[in-house]
Amino acid sequence: MTHQAAKPSSEASTKVIVFGVDDDCKPHAAWFPKAEADRARAAAKQLRLNVTQVNGKATDLVAKLPPGRIHATGPGMVPTVREDLYEKVIATINPRGEAGKESGEPTATDLPETWAAIKPGHVVLIHDSLVEGWWAGIVTDRAGDKLSVRWRDYPGYPKVSVPVTAVALLHPKAA
């Protein structure tokens, strides 16, 4: 007997998508029915992946994603996907590239033109290390000249606190 994967219903708003990249930079993405959303969110948090509820504009995208495996362990719960499909997931969820979360944290709203203009919700570049380089981050708080920043594409990683002059600004036309 062959087991066929469940197909998404035409009602995309009854689904959540879990997506992100693993420690080896392999993209993962899958959809879960709304009935399994809480367990999918808990597992995604442990795996340091993103979760978002699907809206109407993502119906076609959900049909291309594999179903998630709530009873699988570890990364097997959210299968790997092709890079081009993963990029479509990110672009569909937010055309500005924000990986997003459902936690109520600020999302990328615009790009600051100066360090003095940086505020919560802005996208900045954060230097991780000489080997890892610069990565996009979302400012979650500003206290004077200190910023609290979360990694845009890796929301499960800890937030960092950096001086305002330690971040790089993106050119507004780059978005």
Q: Which residues contact 143 (CB under 8 A, 6 or more apart)?
A: none
**pLDDT score, position 94:** 57
Q: State whether residue 165 is helix, strand or coil.
A: helix
Residues found in the chain: 175
Residues of the chain with pLDDT under 70: 1-13, 55-57, 91, 93-110, 155-156, 172-175
Amino acid type, 116: A
pTM score above 0.75: no
H-run or E-run covering 16: strand 15-21
